[in-house]
Amino acid sequence: MLGYTIKRLLQMVLVLFVVSIIVFLMMSFTGDPVFMVIPIDSTQAEIEQARRLLGLDQSLFSQYWIFLSNLLQGDFGRSYVFRQPAMDLILERLPATMEMVLVAMAFATLIAIPLGVYAGANPNRTASRGIMAASLFGISLPGFWVGMMLIYFFSVRHPFLPSSGRGETIEILGLRLSIFTADGWSHILLPAVTLALATLAIILRITRAGMMEVMRQDYIRFARAKGASRTHILFAHGLKNALIPVVTIFGLQLGDLIAFATITETIFAWPGTGKLLIDSIYRGDRPVIVVYLMLTAFIFVVINFLVDIVYTVIDPRITVK
């Protein structure tokens, strides 16, 4: 287990190294950042000086070298716009995004799994067909449209839920969180539902497919022959065997939502990292974008690692090597 963890950590470092190259190259080919930091009426000499200051006069390779050694020293650069460390900017907003994403994922999973189990165990019932048809909507409706419809119905027509911002937050362990206040919950509901819908539909369909397969197996019938209850058979004997693909998708969706909650955050003016990313792209705030991408890669790698560990917990036939 320890050997495995070390191996995975090395793998993680390698992935992040490759990502850093890609991010660096991407940034180098998208415009000259010097114009973001100097006043519009600067002279040519001033521009040259700024270039030197930013290291932009050096070769691509040595620029990357500087970039990498700064990263390794924990210096992720400063935002051109806010004049603060880019990492701080992002970490400050990360709790907002994480909070929304986790609520969305919890919501999606808690609804999708029971429905998927039901639909998979009773594929011919009308209710199951209804669930499957509804899940198609969940997959195909665009998030921004759902968001706007929710705002229209729950904030405009029947104004009982706010449509923008995070509401009241309290500080816990240095993090500003809103899920511990009623006002926070009323704010998080609409964006979380918007974000959850597609994931809910996907997890539901994966769960159903797995359950349909598993319920045909002999060991399910053998469990029935023992006299076990229906619920026990569905969830203990059935679901656990159908869970591997569900966990895979869960991990992918989790990473996806954390990294790309951008649209939902924009619609609901949610002060998270996604909104910061969009703003930074508009402003050409290169350091922020770089840190954002690196952090996203890091989150994906970590989730991947956790998913692999969860596999081994679920299925004893899967071992870590």
Partner 1 sequence: MAEPLLDLRGLQTHFQTFGGLVKAVDGVSFNVKAGEIVGLVGESGGGKSVIGFSILGLVDPPGRIAGGEIRFDGRDISKLGEREMRNVRGRDIAMVFQDPMTSLNPVYTIGRQMDEVLRLHTNLDEAARRTRCIRMLEDVGISGAESRLDAYPHQFSGGMRQRVVIAIALLAGSRLIIADEPTTALDVTVQSQILKLMRRQVQETGAAMILITHDLAVVSEMADRVVVLYCGKVVERGLTEEVIRSPAHPYTRGLLDSIPRITDRQRRLRQIPGTVPDIRTLGAGCSFRGRCAHAQPLCAERSPELVPVRGSLDAACHFPLQEAL
Gap between the Cα atoms of 92 and 271, Å rounded: 10
**Least spacing, CB of residue 78 vs partner 1, in Å:** 51
Report DSSP state, residue 159.
-
Most distant CA pair in the chain: distance in Å?
A: 86
E runs forming strands in the chain = 170-172, 175-177
Nearest distance, CB of residue 124 and partner 1, angstroms:
8
CB of 248 to partner 1, least distance (A): 16
The contacts of residue 261 (CB under 8 Å, 6+ apart) are 97, 100, 101, 195, 270, 272, 273, 274
Q: Closer CB to partner 1, residue 44 or residue 231?
A: 231
Query: Given the complex with partner 1, which of 188 and 206 has the nearer CB atom?
Result: 206
Backbone angles phi, psi at 171, to 5 degrees: -95, 125
Number of H helices, E strands in the chain: 14, 2
Q: Toward partner 1, which CB reaches closer, 68 or 314? A: 314
Q: How far is the CB of 152 from partner 1 (least distance, A)?
A: 44
Q: Which residues here bind partner 1, judged by CB under 8 A?
A: 124, 217-219, 221-230, 237, 240-241, 314-317
Between 39 and 316, name the residue whose CB sits nearer to partner 1: 316
CB of 123 to partner 1, least distance (A): 10
Output 7 or 240, the one with its CB closest to partner 1. Answer: 240
- The residues that bridge with 172 in the sheet, in sequence order, are 175
